[in-house]
Structure 1
Amino acid sequence: MREYTGMYIIHPEHTEEEFKTIVSEIAKIFEEHESRVLEIDEWGMRDLAYEINDLKKGYYVKFRVEATPEAVSEYNRICNIREDIIRHILVRD
């Protein structure tokens, strides 16, 4: 397994409770694929560098994982499908 650093931005029109639920659902993707979440750092609501789909703000979450290739593929697949994730990235350390 390799270590990765990732970030995703959640659509701003959610409650604090919904943000926590989304963060735990994303973490569960890695745990279900025999990977380990090393760190989750919720940056909270911030201004976007540029507008994305007419949005000016987003809820930022940065994380580190030790993941299998299958977990990385599933993370990318789920983030592309979910409408509440407006941007995501995962980079190998």
Structure 2
Amino acid sequence: MTGKGPKDHKEVKTSMNKYELALVVSAKLEDEARDAVVEKAKGYITRYNGVITEVEEWGKKKLAYEIQKMHEGFYYFIQFEADSQCPAEIERHVRIMDNVLRYLVVKKEA
């Protein structure tokens, strides 16, 4: 016998990181349709156990360059907390959403 006790089992804990999802939504949509696009994106965040902390609407802005023959888009920024797998899943869904011209998920500094 070596006299050693049971090994310490480290508790695996997934920490929540802070992220921001930037969406540029088509300016051709009516208000209700734009809101539905944003709600759908928010739904993807909560589906993968993310917690939405803030939603900013910057409104209609001129695009830096033409995207899908459009010169303007509505900008939305959604701050959320989630584990490290969540952003990849969100991107996978947002990538194929209709009326989303551009998107970007970035990890915010702690």
Same fold, TM exceeding 0.5? yes
Aligned to 1:66: 81
Percent identity over paired residues: 24
**Which has a greater percent of strand?**
1
Indicate which of 17, 22, 44 corresponds to 1:29: 44
Q: Which structure has more helix as a fraction of its residues?
A: 1
Taking the aligned partners of 2:77 and 2:60, their CA distance within structure 1 comes to 12
Equivalences, count: 93
Kept in 2, the 8 Å contact 1:29–1:71? The answer is no
Give the 4+ runs in structure 1 shifted more than 6 A.
none
Pairing 1:1-93 to 2, within 5 Å after superposition: 1-93=16-108
Higher RCO, 1 or 2 (CA under 8 Å, sep at least 6)? Answer: 1
Q: Tell me, which stretches of 5 or more residues in structure 2 are unaligned?
A: 1-15
Aligned residues: CA RMSD: 1.1
Partner of 2:6: none
Q: Distance in 1 between matches of 2:100 and 2:66?
A: 14
CA shift, 1:68, in A, is: 2.2
